[in-house]
């Protein structure tokens, strides 16, 4: 298939915009990129899809999300509003996750996947919790991902907060799914070993997880130093700061993701860099929980690999770009902070490298021969010059959520002309409304 007559935004090493360009897609992979005229001449028998001057871009990548949180939308928690991050966890998230049953897990994922397709987000790295339905929960999500046709890496968050049996069940769910993902032939699914956060994990459980992960060729996906309470807890428990504690436990490494890292000091950043550990930044979530702003520019400058996630906020990743671009300026009182290239380094270059951890055979997140054919068409026709050099500022100030008209993952169209092709949004929303009403009832019944 030849997607022709587009403005091709390649990203990747070339990082150029090809005017009147074309992308050839063959068996899930990009096989040629160039100008429309030459590619049409070279492949006269190909089916041609006319992009009508739209931008043809690599699909967005989300480095950290929570499909399980979707049913929180619009839910009111009785009593005084939570005063701080630990109260938000206790009153909202640790009640909602407990209320999720098997089918809720699947539909919570499906509504997020609808949102992802509509916003051209084709790769998602999820972190799951459903303590009342642990065993098999990742299969529920995997089914939803497969129905959607997207690319996702899944894990279950191990935690001690619900006692040793559920901690063990979480470990088993990770191990089971990691083994299944390695044996399975579905190339769009990948796995990691999930851990909740330092503050809900004992040294013994961390050691169990490290030994359970032996031989599975995996890293860990864990929240770290999100609120100051995580550092306080770690110092109290171990005399070490969070990243040092996790490092000593064997959690860091080039396949591991430490989510947030808001309250990390210089030596923790050095450990992150020297171990090649991934960090993800979620500014919308950090603002919402009032936990602070991560030292992202310092980490990037020193060579820590920081990607961009959404922590369960909308899968319109450009909204996360905008939050990142704005919040660092306000936080530091300096409009020079967090330039467009820094945001792009996280959201494009680093997220693409992170995707390579889970899909090592080919590049994701770039338009080049040999890369995964994960693409979107963006109906954006600016009134000023658009170049590869100023593209970040077009995305930050010009791109809107509804500009995506078509989404492709692994060479398969998931949306065209804004019409979803793999998922029925109305059916999914109708069932989700029925299920979420019961989830809300159970969540409220769990309130102290
Ligand atoms: Zn998170």
Q: What is the 3-state secondary structure (H, E, C) of the chain?
A: CEEEEEEEECCCCCCCEEEEEEEEEECCEEEEEEEHHHHHHHCCCCCEEECCCCEEEECEEEEEECHHHHHHCCCCCCCCCCCCHHHHHHHHHHHHHHHCCHHHHHHHHHHHHHHHHHCCEEEEEECECCCCCCCCHHHHHHHHHHHHCCEEEECECECCCCCHHHHHHHHHHHHHHHHHHHHCCCCCEEECEEEEEHHHCCHHHHHHHHHHCCCCCCCEEEEECCCHHHHHHHHHHHCCCHHHHHHHHCCCCCCCEEEECCCCCHHHHHHHHHHCCEEEECHHHHHHHCCCCCCHHHHHHHCCEEEECCCCCCCCHHHHHHHHHHHHHHHHCCCCCCCHHHHHHHHHHHHHHHHHHHCCCCCCCCCCCCCECCEEEECCCCCCCCCCCCHHHHHHHCCCHHHEEEEEECCEEEEECCEECCCCHHHHHHHHHHHHHHHHHHHHHCCC
**High-pLDDT (> 70) share of the chain, %:** 100
**What distance in angstroms lies between residue 313's CA and the mean position of ligand 1's atoms?**
10
pLDDT at 184 over 90: no
Ligand 1 centre from 174 Cα, in Å? Answer: 17
Pair of tokens at residue 95: 């009640």
- The residues facing 18 across adjacent strands are 8
Confidence at 438, pLDDT banded by 50, 70, 90: very high
Q: What is the CA 316 to chain-centroid distance, rounded?
A: 11
Q: What distance in Å separates the CA atoms of residue 448 and residue 442, rounded to the nearest whole number?
A: 12
Q: Assess contact for 77 and 92: CB atoms under 8 A.
A: yes
Please state, in angstroms and as integers, the Cα–Cα distance from residue 208 to each residue in 108, 131, 201, 211, following that order.
Answer: 30, 19, 11, 5
Place of tokens 């006692």: 163
Whole-number Cα distances in Å, 119 to 103, 399, 400: 25, 11, 10
CA of 34 to the centre of ligand 1 (A): 39
Classify the phi-psi angles of 132: left when phi > 0, otherwise alpha if psi is within -120 to 50, otherwise beta: alpha
Whether residue 185 is predicted with pLDDT greater than 80 in this model: the reply is no
pLDDT score recorded for residue 412: 98
**What pLDDT, on the 0 to 100 scale, is given for residue 141?**
98
Say how many Å lie between the CA of residue 293 and the centre of ligand 1: 15
pLDDT of residue 33: 98
Q: What is the pLDDT of residue 78?
A: 85
Mean pLDDT across the stretch 130-147?
Answer: 98
Q: What pLDDT digit, counting tens, does each position of 375-397 carry?
A: 999 999 999 999 999 999 999 99
- Using the mean position of ligand 1's atoms as its centre, give its distance from the Cα of residue 197 in Å: 9
Confidence of residue 27 (pLDDT cuts 50, 70, 90): very high
Give residue 362 CA to ligand 1 midpoint distance, Å: 27
The whole-chain average pLDDT of the chain stands at: 97
What gap in Å lies between CA 173 and CA 159, rounded to an integer?
Answer: 12
- pLDDT tens across 264-297, in order? 999 999 999 999 999 999 999 999 999 999 999 9
Structure tokens at 406: 């078509």
Average confidence (pLDDT) over 329-346 = 98
pLDDT digits (tens, 9 = 90+) for 71-127: 999 998 888 999 999 999 999 999 999 999 999 999 999 999 999 999 999 999 999
At 188, the pLDDT band (50, 70, 90 cuts) reads very high
Residue 35 bridge partners (DSSP): 21
Region 429-439: mean pLDDT is 98
Q: How far is the CA of 261 from the centre of ligand 1 (A)?
A: 11
pLDDT on residue 448: 77
Confidence check: pLDDT of 138 > 80: yes
Q: How far is the CA of 282 from the centre of ligand 1 (A)?
A: 8
Burial readout 283-297 (b: 16 or more C-beta within 10 A, e: otherwise) = bbbbbebebbbbbbe
**223 CA → ligand 1 middle, Å:** 6
Distance 256 CA to ligand 1 centre (A): 14
Read off φ and ψ for residue 443, nearest 5 degrees. Answer: -65, -45
Distance separating alpha carbons of residues 96 and 439, to the nearest angstrom = 7
Residues in the chain: 448
Confidence of residue 191 (pLDDT cuts 50, 70, 90): very high
CA 221–ligand 1 middle distance (angstroms): 10
Q: Determine the Cα–Cα distance for residues 32 and 241; give it in Å rounded to an integer.
A: 49
Of 180, 112, 178, 184, which Cα lies nearest the Cα of 148?
Answer: 112
CA of 69 to the centre of ligand 1 (A): 10
Band of residue 324 on the pLDDT scale cut at 50, 70, 90: very high
């Amino acid at each position: 298939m030849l997607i022709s007559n587009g403005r091709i935004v390649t990203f990747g090493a070339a990082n150029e915009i090809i005017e009147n360009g074309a992308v050839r897609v063959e068996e899930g992979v990009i096989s040629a990129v160039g100008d429309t005229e030459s590619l049409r001449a070279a492949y006269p028998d190909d089916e041609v899809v006319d992009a009508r001057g739209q931008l043809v871009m690599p699909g967005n990548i989300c480095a950290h999300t929570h499909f399980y949180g979707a049913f929180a939308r619009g839910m009111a928690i009785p009593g005084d509003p939570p005063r701080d991050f630990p109260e938000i966890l206790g009153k909202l998230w640790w009640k909602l996750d407990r209320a999720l049953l098997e089918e809720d897990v699947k539909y919570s994922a499906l509504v997020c996947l609808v949102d992802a397709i509509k916003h051209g987000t084709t790769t998602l790295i999820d972190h799951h919790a459903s303590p009342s339905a642990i065993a098999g929960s990742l299969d529920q999500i995997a089914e939803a991902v497969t129905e959607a046709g997207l690319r996702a890496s899944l894990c279950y968050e191990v935690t001690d907060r619900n006692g040793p049996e559920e901690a063990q069940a979480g470990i088993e769910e990770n191990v089971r799914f990691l083994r299944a993902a390695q044996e399975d032939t579905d190339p769009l699914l990948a796995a990691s070993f999930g851990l909740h956060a330092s503050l809900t994990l004992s040294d013994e459980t961390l050691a169990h997880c490290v030994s359970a992960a032996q031989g599975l060729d995996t890293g860990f996906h864990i929240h770290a130093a999100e609120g100051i309470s995580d550092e306080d807890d770690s110092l109290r428990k171990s005399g070490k700061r969070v990243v040092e504690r996790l490092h000593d436990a064997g959690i860091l490494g080039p396949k591991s993701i430490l989510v947030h890292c808001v309250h990390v000091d210089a030596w923790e950043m050095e450990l992150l860099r020297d171990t090649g550990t991934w960090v993800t930044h979620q500014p919308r979530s950090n603002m919402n929980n009032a936990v602070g702003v991560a030292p992202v520019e310092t980490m990037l400058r020193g060579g820590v690999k920081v990607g961009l996630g959404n922590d369960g906020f909308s899968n319109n990743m450009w909204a996360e770009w905008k939050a990142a671009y704005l919040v660092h300026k306000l936080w530091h009182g300096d409009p020079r902070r967090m330039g467009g290239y820094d945001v792009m380094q996280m959201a494009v270059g680093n997220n693409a490298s992170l995707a390579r951890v889970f899909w090592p055979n080919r590049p994701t997140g770039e338009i080049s021969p040999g890369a995964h054919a994960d693409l979107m068409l963006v109906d954006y026709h600016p009134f000023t010059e658009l170049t590869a050099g100023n593209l970040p500022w077009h995305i930050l100030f010009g791109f809107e959520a509804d500009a995506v008209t078509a989404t492709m993952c692994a060479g398969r169209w998931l949306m065209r002309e804004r019409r979803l092709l793999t998922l029925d949004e109305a059916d999914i929303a109708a069932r989700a409304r029925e299920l979420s009403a019961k989830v809300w009832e159970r969540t409220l019944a769990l309130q102290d």
